[in-house]
């Protein structure tokens, strides 16, 4: 098995949980992105020797499910789909029992659910690494892929991103939260713009500003043009996340004027790249032109889920 000696900061993450972007430090986040870029370029290959990852997904997923499965296969491991509807989880078996039993069978769990508290519960009871594959609060694996995409656009090394500004327009949701925390660690200024009432959590904002202190700025604005002006990367996500389907009509009214379209892109830096975590709703949070335009890196970003998660899995499950 190859070791991770070229990425010394990653040794501290071995065997740990990754429940939040803030579970990695600044140097660890930068080294995760370096490892991801090296894996993507074929400069490094890591064999986890038959380790097994369990996926417990209580919400739909295309990218996260498939990229974790392929990432594990590329590392010489395997994935087991433990969808709650086909396990006893769906019939109410307690997390405390499920987590302890699964820890005897698999080497890590990637969990997609609603409450961050449930994820923390799994992590508490499991004796193996637990990875946040999206909760209502955060989407830290997405943020790693997002900043890997920025890194590629700005020169190829984490240092090349430092001082750049990423503008996220839309709902102050799980994706926004992880972008704020991870951006703070990487020295990227993150500007969140959205209508009144849809701001990111005050707690995550305070935590991001604490992490960013002296490195970069994390700001919140309520005007779309002010949000994107001069920014080097523009990002948006759905207005109604999974679990908010009933609010969809109200949110479409409240977010009127917040579509990431060509007009808004024209206010950003002329070389700004356009990002979206997908799935996207053309004509709502993003225009078809913005998605398909020459500034779009959206499909590279989707691909980068694979490389970023491969780096994460290699780190958490590293050989001795």
Q: Give the separation between CA 268 and CA 167, rounded to whole angstroms.
A: 9
Asked if 173 touches ligand NVA (CB under 6 A), the answer is: yes
Asked if 260 touches ligand NVA (CB under 6 A), the answer is: no
Q: How far is the CB of 159 from ligand NVA (least distance, A)?
A: 28
Q: In the annotation, is 88 catalytic?
A: no
The residue ranges that bind ligand CP (CB under 6 A) are: 61-64, 134, 142, 277-278
Identify which of residues 57 and 125 has a Cβ nearer to ligand NVA in the complex. Answer: 57
Q: Is 193 helix (H, G, I), strand (E, B) or coil?
A: strand
The answer to whether the beta carbons of residues 39 and 45 sit under 8 Å apart is: yes
Task: Report the residue from 174, 178, 301, 310 that binds ligand NVA according to the rule CB under 6 A.
Answer: 174
In the list ligand NVA, ligand CP, none, the entry touching 173 (Cβ below 5 to 8 angstroms by class) is: ligand NVA
Q: Give the separation between CA 111 and CA 175, rounded to whole angstroms.
A: 16
Q: Give the separation between CA 71 and CA 78, rounded to whole angstroms.
A: 9
Distances in Å between the Cα of 43 and the Cα atoms of 7, 36, 46, 74 are: 13, 10, 10, 14
Environment class of 84 (CB within 10 Å of its CB; exposed 0-12, middle 13-18, buried 19+)? middle
Site for ligand NVA in 179-238 (CB under 6 A): 237-238
From the list 142, 301, 309, 310, the catalytic residue is 142
From the list 44, 112, 276, 297, the catalytic residue is 112
Q: Give the separation between CA 67 and CA 134, rounded to whole angstroms.
A: 14
In the list ligand CP, ligand NVA, none, the entry touching 291 (Cβ below 5 to 8 angstroms by class) is: none
In the list ligand NVA, ligand CP, none, the entry touching 62 (Cβ below 5 to 8 angstroms by class) is: ligand CP
From the list 141, 216, 259, 277, the catalytic residue is 277
Identify which of residues 79 and 173 has a Cβ nearer to ligand NVA in the complex. Answer: 173
Q: How far is the CB of 166 from ligand CP (least distance, A)?
A: 16
In the list ligand CP, ligand NVA, none, the entry touching 238 (Cβ below 5 to 8 angstroms by class) is: ligand NVA
Q: In the annotation, is 305 catalytic?
A: yes
Identify which of residues 106 and 134 has a Cβ nearer to ligand CP in the complex. Answer: 134
Beta-ladder partners of 108: 53
Q: Give the separation between CA 202 and CA 211, rounded to whole angstroms.
A: 14
Q: In the annotation, is 28 catalytic?
A: no
Task: Report the residue from 29, 58, 178, 241 that binds ligand NVA according to the rule CB under 6 A.
Answer: 241
As given in the structure block, the two tokens for residue 257 are 């004027």
Q: In the annotation, is 222 catalytic?
A: no
Q: How far is the CB of 172 from ligand NVA (least distance, A)?
A: 10
Beta-ladder partners of 109: 54, 130
Asked if 69 touches ligand NVA (CB under 6 A), the answer is: no
Within 8 A by CB and 6+ apart from 256, the residues are: none
Distances in Å between the Cα of 276 and the Cα atoms of 1, 23, 146 are: 35, 23, 9
Active site residues: 112, 139, 142, 237, 277, 305
- Interacting residues toward ligand NVA by CB under 6 A: 134, 173-175, 237-238, 241-242, 277
């Amino acid at each position: 098995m190859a070791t991770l000696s070229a990425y010394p900061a990653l040794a501290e993450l071995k065997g740990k949980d990754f429940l939040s972007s803030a579970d990695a430090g600044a140097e660890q986040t930068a080294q995760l992105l370096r490892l991801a870029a090296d894996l993507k370029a074929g400069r490094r290959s890591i064999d986890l020797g038959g380790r097994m990852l369990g996926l417990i997904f209580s919400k739909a997923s295309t990218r996260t499910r498939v990229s974790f499965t392929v990432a594990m296969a590329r590392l010489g491991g395997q994935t087991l789909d433990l969808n709650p509807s086909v396990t006893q989880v769906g019939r109410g078996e307690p997390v405390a029992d499920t987590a302890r039993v699964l820890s005897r069978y698999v080497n890590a769990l990637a969990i997609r659910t609603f409450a961050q508290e449930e994820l923390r519960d799994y992590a508490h009871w499991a004796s193996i690494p637990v990875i946040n594959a999206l909760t209502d609060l955060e989407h830290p694996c997405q943020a790693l892929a997002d900043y890997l995409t920025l890194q590629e656009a700005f020169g190829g090394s984490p240092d090349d991103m430092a001082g750049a500004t990423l503008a996220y327009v839309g709902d102050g949701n799980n994706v926004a939260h992880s972008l704020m925390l991870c951006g703070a660690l990487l020295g990227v200024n993150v500007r969140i713009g959205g209508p009144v009432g849809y701001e990111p959590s005050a707690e995550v904002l305070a935590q991001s500003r604490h992490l960013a202190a002296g490195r970069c700025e994390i700001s919140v604005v309520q005007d779309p043009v002010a949000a994107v002006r001069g920014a080097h990367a523009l990002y948006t996500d759905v207005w109604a996340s999974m679990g908010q389907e009933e609010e969809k009509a109200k949110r479409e009214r409240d977010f009127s004027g917040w579509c990431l379209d060509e007009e808004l892109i024209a206010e950003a830096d002329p070389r700004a790249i356009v990002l979206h975590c997908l799935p996207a709703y053309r004509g709502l949070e993003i225009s078809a032109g913005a998605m398909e335009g020459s500034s779009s890196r959206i499909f590279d970003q989707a691909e980068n889920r694979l490389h970023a998660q491969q780096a994460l899995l290699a780190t958490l499950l590293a050989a001795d």
